[in-house]
C-alpha cells in the first residue's frame, strides 16, 4: 500500500554536528545520557495491532503499526539546512500518523538490511531509545499517552496511558512548548550498550554525539514537513524519567516538542 503523500518531504540522513556539540555540553553539565533493553515483539506475538488508528484498547506493551515512509521528498537537504530554525509556537491541529511515522524514521529508522539506521552510531551499538509523549492536540488516531518507538519493526509500543505533557513541562523547567506541542519526542540513552565496547569515552563522547545526530535529523525532517520544533535540554533527568516511565538505567538527553507550524 502506498503511503499517504505528505507536503515538502526530504530524506534527512545528515550528521548533526551542531546538535552533537550541544548535547555533549549538556551531558557534562549534568543534564543526562540512557536505556530500555526490551526485545521487540516478533511476528508471532499476540500483542500486535496492524491498525495504526483506534488504539483505545491497547494495553501497555502492545504495539501498533506505523504508515510507510518516503525517501524521495521534494525538499533538498540544502534547503532544509537553510530554513532550519528553533520554533516554540505551535498550531492547534493534530499531527497525522504519516507525519509521526516520517519523523521517527528520520530519527532512528532502519535503512539497511544489516540494521544500520538514519543516524550514525559508534560501532553500530545504537544506545538510544525514543519515547513519544502524545497529548493534545496529539496525533490523529492515537490516544494520549507515552509510546516507545521500535526501529526494527517501525512500530510504536504503547507504554503508559494518559496525557502527561503538563507533568513533563514541570520536569523541564516549566518550558511552555513542552505542553503546547502535539507531541514530545524524548531521546534517552542506554550507556552500557556503548560503554561495554568503548568504556567511559563512549558515555562521555560517543553517546552525546549520537544524540546530536538524531536531534539534527529531527530538526531537518520537521522542516521538510512544515512542522515546528525546538531542542530542549534543561530538565530534571529523574523527573523526566519518572514521567515517561523509563527504567533506572535510562537517562534522558533531549526533549523535542513537535507540532504544527503557525
Query: Which pLDDT tens digit goes with each residue over 221-239?
Result: 999 999 999 999 999 999 9
Task: Tell me the per-residue pLDDT of 25-76, one tens digit each, with 9 for 90 and over.
Answer: 433 333 333 233 333 333 444 455 555 545 557 899 999 999 999 999 989 9
* 47 belongs to a structural domain: no
- The domain in which residue 199 lies consists of 17-37+63-260
Contacts of 84 (CB under 8 A, 6+ apart): 219, 220, 223
**210 domain-assigned:** yes
SS3 category, 54: coil
**Percent of residues, the chain, with pLDDT higher than 70:** 79
Task: Give me the CATH number covering residue 157.
Answer: 3.40.109.10
What is the domain count for the chain?
Answer: 1
C-alpha cell of 165? 505533557
Cα distance between residue 143 and residue 249, in whole Å? 27
Contact status, residue 188 vs residue 128, Cβ threshold 8 Å: yes
- Give the pLDDT confidence of 117-147 residue by residue, as tens digits: 999 999 999 999 999 999 999 999 999 999 9
Q: How far apart are the first and last CA of the chain?
A: 32
User: Would residue 45 count as lying in a domain?
Assistant: no
**Quick check: is 44 in a domain?**
no
Integer Cα distance of 206 and 158 in angstroms: 29
Query: Do the domain assignments include residue 80?
Result: yes
CB contact set of 17 (below 8 Å; sequence gap of 6+): 212, 216
- Evaluate if residue 5 carries a pLDDT over 90: no
Domain membership flag for residue 1? no
What does the mean pLDDT of the chain come to?
A: 86
pLDDT at residue number 55: 56
51 domain residue, yes or no: no
Rounded distance, CA 214 to CA 246, Å? 19
Per-residue pLDDT band for 85 (boundaries 50, 70, 90) equals: very high
Residue 47 confidence (pLDDT): 53
53 domain residue, yes or no: no
What is d(CA 76, CA 85) in angstroms, rounded to the nearest whole number?
A: 16
Per-residue pLDDT at 176 exceeds 60:
yes
State how far the Cα of 203 lies from the Cα of 28, in Å rounded to an integer: 10
Amino acid at each position: 500500500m502506498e503511503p499517504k503523500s505528505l507536503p515538502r518531504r526530504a530524506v534527512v540522513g545528515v550528521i548533526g554536528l551542531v546538535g552533537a556539540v550541544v548535547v555533549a555540553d549538556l551531558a557534562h553539565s549534568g543534564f543526562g545520557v540512557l536505556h530500555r533493553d526490551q526485545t521487540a515483539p516478533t511476528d508471532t506475538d499476540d500483542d500486535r495491532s496492524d491498525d495504526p488508528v483506534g488504539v483505545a484498547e491497547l494495553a501497555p506493551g502492545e504495539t501498533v503499526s506505523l504508515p510507510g515512509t518516503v525517501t524521495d521528498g521534494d525538499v533538498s537537504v540544502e534547503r532544509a539546512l537553510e530554513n532550519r530554525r528553533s520554533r516554540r509556537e505551535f498550531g492547534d491541529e493534530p499531527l497525522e500518523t504519516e507525519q509521526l511515522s516520517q519523523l521517527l524514521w528520520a530519527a532512528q529508522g532502519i535503512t539497511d538490511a544489516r540494521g544500520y539506521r538514519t543516524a550514525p552510531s559508534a560501532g553500530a551499538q545504537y544506545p538510544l531509545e525514543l519515547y513519544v509523549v502524545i497529548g493534545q492536540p496529539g496525533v490523529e488516531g492515537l490516544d494520549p499517552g507515552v509510546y516507545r518507538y521500535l526501529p526494527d519493526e517501525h512500530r510504536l509500543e504503547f507504554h503508559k496511558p494518559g496525557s502527561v505533557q503538563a507533568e513533563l513541562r514541570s520536569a523541564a523547567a516549566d518550558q511552555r512548548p513542552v505542553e503546547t506541542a502535539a507531541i514530545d519526542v524524548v531521546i534517552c540513552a542506554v550507556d552500557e550498550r556503548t560503554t561495554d565496547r568503548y568504556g567511559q569515552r563512549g558515555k562521555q563522547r560517543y553517546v552525546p554525539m549520537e544524540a546530536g545526530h538524531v536531534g539534527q535529523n529531527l530538526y531537518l525532517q520537521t522542516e521538510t514537513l512544515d512542522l515546528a520544533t525546538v531542542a530542549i535540554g534543561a530538565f530534571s533527568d529523574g523527573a523526566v524519567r519518572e514521567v515517561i516511565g523509563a527504567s533506572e538505567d535510562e537517562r534522558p538527553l533531549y526533549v523535542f516538542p513537535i507540532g504544527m507550524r503557525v
